[in-house]
Structure formats: structure tokens, C-alpha cells
Amino acid sequence: MNIKLTAAALILVVAIGIWGCAQPRDPSERWYTAEQVTAGKPLFASYCAGCHGDRGQGGKNWERPQADGSYPPQPLNGSGHSWHHSLVSLEKTIARGGTHPGATMPGFADVVDKQQRLAIIAAFQDLWGDKIYAGWLRRGGL
């Protein structure tokens, strides 16, 4: 093969590679599988819905601290700020419980294992629209 052609082919391959990396991730392609969502839904219903709502809608006036200074359960359906937290941090919160002073959320480390905690996250992230999910990715969710 002639050298110029080989060089041109090489440049093309590198250019396609760079272009590919620069493409934003498609938010309709989620980190989790449909199986994880299916596994997470009943766990969410058993352990989380009582406080965060059956559709993850959160408690009333969740943005305002209560009389004792603690916060009501935030929405997990994408309307709150759960999308400001990375996957690692969401998983930690579920394992260890609430982070604000006086937080009433218990830790679930002894109740659900890591795989189940990730399935629960998949179940509530599946309620997030693509725009919220894309924002989460941009903030370094993964």
C-alpha cells in the first residue's frame, strides 16, 4: 500500500475514534438492566415507599426543614435533587442512612445487600426522564 494512503487511513481511524469519544452518552442507554429494575421495584415498595412515596414522589414540603431541623424524605423520582448524587453516593446513603443532622432515614446495609441496593437505585432511576438522567451523567453520576 502506498504510504500516503496508509497515513490517510490512519488519520481517519484516529479522527473517528476522537469523534466517538466526544459524543455525549445517550441518556436512553442506562447503566442498569431491565432485570435490575424488576428486582428493585418490590424492594423499593417494601423498604422505601413508606417514606419516599410509592412513586418516589417524596414527603410533603421536602425542601423545608421541619421543627426539629431535620428534612422530610426527598423525592427519588427525579423531581428532587437525588440526581445531584453519584451512583456511589446514592448507594452509600442507602447503606448508611440519612446524612443531614437529625436525619431519620435508617441505614439498610443489614437489610439489603449491595446488589439489591443497586437494583433499588435502578428502580427509582427508571422514573427519571432522559433529561434528568443526562444531567446526572454530566455531573459525573457514573
φ and ψ at 91, to 5 degrees? -65, -40
DSSP tag of 83: G
Q: In this complex, which beta carbon is closest to ligand HEC, that of residue 42 or of residue 50?
A: 50
Q: In this complex, which beta carbon is closest to ligand HEC, that of residue 11 or of residue 111?
A: 111
Of the candidates 83, 111, 76, 77, which has an alpha carbon nearest to the alpha carbon of residue 96?
Answer: 111
- Residues forming the site for ligand HEC (CB under 6 A): 47-48, 50-52, 71-74, 76, 80-82, 85, 90, 93-94, 98-100, 103-105, 108, 120
Nearest approach, Cβ of residue 49 and ligand HEC (Å):
8
Nearest approach, Cβ of residue 137 and ligand HEC (Å):
17
